[in-house]
Structure 1
Amino acid sequence: MMNGPLASFLTDANFKSVLYIVAFSLFIYGLSGLTGPKTAVRGNRIAAIGMSIAVVATLLVDPFHNPVLIIIGSLIGVGVGVPAARKVKMTAMPQMVALFNGVGGGAVALIAWAEFRTSGGFDVTPTYIVVFSLFSAIVGSVSFWGSNIAFGKLQELISGAPITLKALQLPVQALVGLVAIGSAVAIATGSTSEGLMVLLLISAGVFGVLLVLPIGGADMPVVISLLNAFTGLAAAAAGVSLDNQALIVAGMIVGASGTILTQQMAIAMNRTIVSVIAGGFGGGGGDAPAGAAGAGGGTVRSTSASDVAIQMAYARLVVIVPGYGMAVSQAQHAVKEMANLLESKGVEVKYAIHPVAGRMPGHMNVLLAEADVPYEQLKEMDDINGEFKRTDVSLVIGANDVTNPDARNKADSPIYGMPILNVDESQSTIVLKRSMSSGYAGIDNPLFVDPKTSMLFGDAKASVEAITEELKAL
């Protein structure tokens, strides 16, 4: 227990409020830096400093309860989090985001359970605190288990295809949802049974599992954002129940940003959030042998690295369209080297970035920033689509659904109406793929059999490196 003037000052409520205000300011300022690759690292560090200040302010409590447990928990968190963040490959970043987000939701649910136990089942707790605690328990549990299912799908531990109980899906999902809500109502109206609290957490967890299992891989970027928003809202509710301003503000920031991003991702896919939650879209696609007949029985035209190099070397404008295939093969550095060589030959190079290319929002931006691609060359979909008609060569690296012309031309297509990159308007299109497998939407792409399209089959990184060597020889 701390004593003396210093201890009084450090534990004074006004001093802690000042620290929280400083922390909030750093949260917001750091978040503003995440809007571009050049300032993202600095913004992340500033926000981390803000969080550190908030943690210190929260721990300035007299008496200092359970210091050993706090130290042990902190060491475990650092021991797991730092190595995981440093060693994770960029291809695995989406599943790490899903997993870490789920941990946050799970922590909030456990806090609600702990509050229930330490208060004797909310025996003398104000009603509004009980409501916020129960809300955080339900939403936190949904987020934890839903995020784990999203992780499993992204890590391919679970099939990326929609998994449902068929006709029983909605009835079962409604039942477990009602059990969770009913348990919460019973607790809020006076029940102190811990069994009800456990039932609430379990039923909410089952609801989270049933929520994400029917959602196909094509919608995973939206799901990650949605679950992130859930965790933020649960954390804010926990902050109210704990009377912790830092948790309230941080949770609201996460919840608001996650909600906005979810809406933007849904718009980018011409989907509603309700239709995403309804599931049943996208199955990860299946493999077909290289050179097989394409959509509608069209002919697939294979090409070679030397032919691709010749086409691009004599082009005025080359647009590179990255997709998840570039992430899988870790080809971003090879792509940057190839682009530098093209520019040295007087070729203008741009990168076309679709909002949902890859497996999470901003996936391609992060990969290319890692390879030091100038941010000015990264063109968002709305900015680059007008450029394709004057593009000599579009080089598509592992992108599928975001370049599928059926989204514009085929009214009965599952992706009809989804904004796409109009690469089919280029004078020539080169597609780098391992095989004729479909994308996450699980449908054929007529771009691959377009007369102006040539396919270069193989690992994306190896193909890009082969093209680069051919360019050096020209």
Structure 2
Amino acid sequence: MLPDGPLGVVVPILYIIAFALFIYGLSGLTGPRTAVRGNWIAAVGMGIAVVATLLLVRANWIWVVAGLVIGTLIGVPSARNVRMTQMPQMVALFNGVGGGAVALIAWAEFRSSTGFLDEPLYVVIATMFAAIVGSVSFWGSLIAYGKLQELLPGRPIGLGRVQQPINIGLLVLAVVAAVVSGLGGASEWWIIAVLVLAALVGVLVVLPIGGADMPVVISLLNAMTGLSAAAAGLALSNTAMIVAGMIVGASGSILTNQMAVAMNRTIPAIVAGGFGGTQAAVSGDGVERTVKSTSAADAAIQMAYASQVIVVPGYGMAVAQAQHAVKDMAKLLESKGVEVKYAIHPVAGRMPGHMNVLLAEADVSYDALKEMDDINDEFSRTDVTLVIGANDVTNPSARTDPSSPIHGMPILNVDESHNVIVLKRSMGSGFAGVENPLFFLDNTSMLFGDAKSSVMEVTEELKAL
């Protein structure tokens, strides 16, 4: 409820300004040219929303200030020091913290209302929804963080056929405990049971999901956190939480669907788990194959005399932090009259836009970054395609082998290029754990080694030509 007096006028105005900045900032995130500015605009909006909310606080300000100081001391250094290769797990972790905060808010609301005595039904429903979804998001995000950080195995960890019945059973029990909690005057142990049962659901849902699907899971959990925040805002009559939560929930849901489409997988199939992970490559027919190795000198000659070179960045480029070396190589090729473009797959790396961010950091021209649908027709007209650490998104089995686990997944058609040079440390499989026939094609050569070192060696050879 808004207070009487000047604050009753000022706070709504501040919220309206914050909402406008949220939406305007979000619109800027649709393109790389405006993404940084959009992020700053949305951040300013969030700052205004926080100030407006603090104006309504009637509590011990020592605790409020302490929380702000602790959060700032943890959040700012973490965000400034994180490497780009670790950004996906930081997104998962920060998103989880939001879900955890919502779950704690729901618990606090239960305590402050003495077990929802005399509370309207909509408050009870919204609070219990926030408790369940927030707890699922928090614990699920921790598991996602553990898998991406390799604290946990990236492969699916499940209970086989009983996995889904157990998950459903735990969710039903959480809902039952929520109903009992909302009857009015229930023991506090019931709300604790809600949070614990929902936590088990979050853990057991994400554990069986393999690393290949983890970017989609992060996006889904982010959407769930937004929806839980909106529900908590409804219970607390906090307009800022409702609007911000719905924006996060809606945008996260759209992104999750787009990523699932990009992988040709349904969201229920992803949640069901059992696909992808760090495991040995599996050949579909058991036939031993050989690959052709190349050298930096030969790769330089091939690219120097090409009319067009397409660079396909992947997680290997991110791990090696090779984006600046790639930019230097491309600049040298362009000085020799070679046209250089970058093919960006929607789910390359470990999160949406991962490759775009890395290349933008190296000041690669936005015009040179081509989305999959825009670049795929050009591979057949391309002299050399340089694949840097990308695996699953270039696997032709997705197009040609109906028995492949990734069959139907839209890929970059690099195999149609006249020549393909693949930079990899080894013959290991990608996050999906599926062997890539691209490496064995007649028009493919492998340049083994660290991606950054390999690119720098190619650049030095180009200078000598």
TM > 0.5 between the two? Answer: yes
Alignment of 1:301-340 (within 5 A): 301-340=292-331
Over aligned residue pairs, what C-alpha RMSD do you find? Answer: 1.6
Shift of 1:187: 1.6
- Aligned equivalents of 1:45 and 1:240: distance in 2? 27
* Residues 1:209 and 2:200 are matched in the alignment: no
* Residues 1:274 and 2:268 are matched in the alignment: yes
Does the C-alpha gap of structure 1 residues 295 and 26 become closer, same or farther in structure 2, counting only changes over 3 Å?
Answer: farther
Shift of 1:188: 2.0
Shift of 1:11: 4.8
Query: Do the aligned residues in 2 keep the contact of 1:287 with 1:435 (CA within 8 Å)?
Result: no
Q: Which residue of 2 aligns with 1:12?
A: 7
Does the C-alpha gap of structure 1 residues 82 and 436 become closer, same or farther in structure 2, counting only changes over 3 Å?
Answer: same
- Aligned equivalents of 1:197 and 1:358: distance in 2? 39
Equivalent position SS for 1:227: helix
Query: Do the aligned residues in 2 keep the contact of 1:10 with 1:16 (CA within 8 Å)?
Result: no
Q: Which residue of 2 aligns with 1:91?
A: 85
Deviates more, 1:444-453 or 1:33-42: 33-42
Q: Which residue of 1 aligns with 2:28?
A: 33
In structure 2, what residue type is equivalent to 1:170? Q
Q: Which residue of 1 aligns with 2:120?
A: 126
Shift of 1:36: 1.9
Deviations 1:89-114 (A, max 9, x none): 00000000000000000000000000
Query: Do the aligned residues in 2 keep the contact of 1:164 with 1:214 (CA within 8 Å)?
Result: yes
Equivalent position SS for 1:297: coil
Shift of 1:415: 0.5
Long gaps (5+) in structure 1: 1-7
Alignment size in residue pairs: 463
Shift of 1:23: 0.2
In structure 2, what residue type is equivalent to 1:123? L
In structure 2, what residue type is equivalent to 1:254? V
Shift of 1:34: 1.1
Alignment of 1:222-371 (within 5 A): 222-286=216-280, 296-371=287-362
Q: Which residue of 2 aligns with 1:4?
A: none
* Residues 1:413 and 2:408 are matched in the alignment: no
Deviations 1:1-49 (A, max 9, x none): xxxxxxx998522221111000000001111111222211111111111
- Aligned equivalents of 2:4 and 2:127: distance in 1? 31
In structure 1, what residue type is equivalent to 2:154? G
Shift of 1:124: 1.4
Q: 1:460 aligns with which of 445, 451, 456?
A: 451
Equivalent position SS for 1:358: coil
Q: 1:449 aligns with which of 440, 443, 448?
A: 440
Shift of 1:299: 1.7
Equivalent position SS for 1:418: coil
Does the C-alpha gap of structure 1 residues 10 and 191 become closer, same or farther in structure 2, counting only changes over 3 Å?
Answer: closer
- Aligned equivalents of 1:285 and 1:170: distance in 2? 23
Q: Which residue of 2 aligns with 1:5?
A: none
- Aligned equivalents of 2:102 and 2:328: distance in 1? 45
In structure 2, what residue type is equivalent to 1:135? F
Q: 1:395 aligns with which of 363, 366, 386?
A: 386
Shift of 1:295: 7.3
Q: 2:157 aligns with which of 132, 156, 163?
A: 163
Shift of 1:186: 1.0
Equivalent position SS for 2:150: coil
- Aligned equivalents of 1:326 and 1:219: distance in 2? 20
Deviations 1:376-426 (A, max 9, x none): 100000000010010000000000110000001001110111000000000
Shift of 1:59: 1.1
Query: Do the aligned residues in 2 keep the contact of 1:407 with 1:420 (CA within 8 Å)?
Result: yes
Query: Do the aligned residues in 2 keep the contact of 1:295 with 1:446 (CA within 8 Å)?
Result: no
Shift of 1:297: 2.1
Equivalent position SS for 2:342: strand
Deviations 1:295-325 (A, max 9, x none): 7422200000000000000000000000000
- Aligned equivalents of 1:384 and 1:295: distance in 2? 33
Shift of 1:192: 1.8
Q: 2:191 aligns with which of 190, 197, 200?
A: 197
Q: Which residue of 2 aligns with 1:44?
A: 39
Does the C-alpha gap of structure 1 residues 10 and 281 become closer, same or farther in structure 2, counting only changes over 3 Å?
Answer: farther
Deviations 1:267-306 (A, max 9, x none): 0000000100000010223379xxx9x9742220000000
- TM, length-normalised to structure 1: 0.95
Long gaps (5+) in structure 2: none
Q: Which residue of 1 aligns with 2:142?
A: 148
Equivalent position SS for 2:29: helix
Query: Do the aligned residues in 2 keep the contact of 1:10 with 1:60 (CA within 8 Å)?
Result: no
Deviations 1:191-225 (A, max 9, x none): 52100000000000000001100000010111011
- Aligned equivalents of 1:158 and 1:240: distance in 2? 36
Query: Do the aligned residues in 1 keep the contact of 2:137 with 2:225 (CA within 8 Å)?
Result: yes
Q: 1:219 aligns with which of 213, 218, 221?
A: 213
Deviations 1:43-91 (A, max 9, x none): 11111110111111111127x3111100000001110110001000000
- Aligned equivalents of 1:83 and 1:408: distance in 2? 44
- Aligned equivalents of 1:179 and 1:218: distance in 2? 30
